[in-house]
């Protein structure tokens, strides 16, 4: 179903994939997991490794799983927004997102992703820090935080990249 590739062999424009098509961030294991839609993040080189940075607000249920686990996954579904209608608007605290979306959990590298994805990036968490208003050198982005719920920025080293065969 999937083949493993190098992160450097990803052909997609990841800026477009993240911003326009969106992705799911997932974390957890067979005993419990959650996933959320995200459209902010980036990928590049950090500390000598292919890496990603994701942004997660503190109140998101997925943040609880990111705190408890060392690995997480990013999964991409092309322009299929049906998944994101559920995972971007409902909390896993209140609904069974797997049941509502029909996604098939796959457990690998101590995390979870979903069999319906076109591409999966599995990462080992390396650094977590919360944004603070005093560190913004440009105050324009503060408009995104009327409730002062500043994102956690999580740097993850890519440990596996999978692409649909």
Residue-wise pLDDT for 6-36, tens only, equals 999 999 898 999 999 999 999 999 999 999 9
pLDDT per position as a tens digit, 53-107: 999 999 999 999 999 999 999 999 998 889 999 999 999 999 999 999 999 999 9
DSSP-derived 3-state class of residue 8: helix
Number of domains forming the structure of the chain: 1
In 87-151, where do the E strands start and end?
105-108, 111-114, 119-130
DSSP 78: T
> Would you list the DSSP string of 133-150?
GGG-SSSGGGGG-TT--P
Q: Which domain holds residue 41?
A: 2-164
Give the residue among 95, 115, 128, 122 at the shortest CA–CA distance from 164: 115
Looking up residue 139, the CATH number of its domain turns out to be 2.30.110.10
Residue 5 sits at φ, ψ, to 5 deg, of -130, 170
């Amino acid at each position: 179903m999937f083949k493993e590739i190098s992160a450097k062999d990803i052909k997609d424009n990841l800026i477009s994939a993240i911003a326009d098509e969106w992705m799911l961030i997932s974390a957890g294991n067979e005993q419990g997991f959650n996933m959320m839609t995200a459209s902010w993040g980036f990928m590049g080189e950090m500390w000598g490794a292919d890496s990603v940075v994701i942004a997660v607000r503190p109140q998101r249920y997925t943040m609880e799983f990111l705190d408890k686990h060392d690995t997480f996954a990013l999964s991409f579904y092309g322009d299929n927004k049906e998944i994101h209608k559920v995972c971007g608007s409902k909390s896993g605290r209140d609904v069974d997102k797997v049941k509502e979306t029909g996604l098939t959990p796959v457990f690998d590298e101590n995390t979870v992703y979903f069999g319906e994805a076109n591409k999966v990036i599995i990462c080992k968490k390396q650094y977590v820090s919360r944004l603070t208003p005093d560190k913004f050198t440009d105050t324009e982005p503060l408009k995104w935080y009327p409730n002062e719920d500043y994102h956690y920025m999580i740097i993850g080293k890519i440990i596996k990249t999978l692409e649909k065969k």
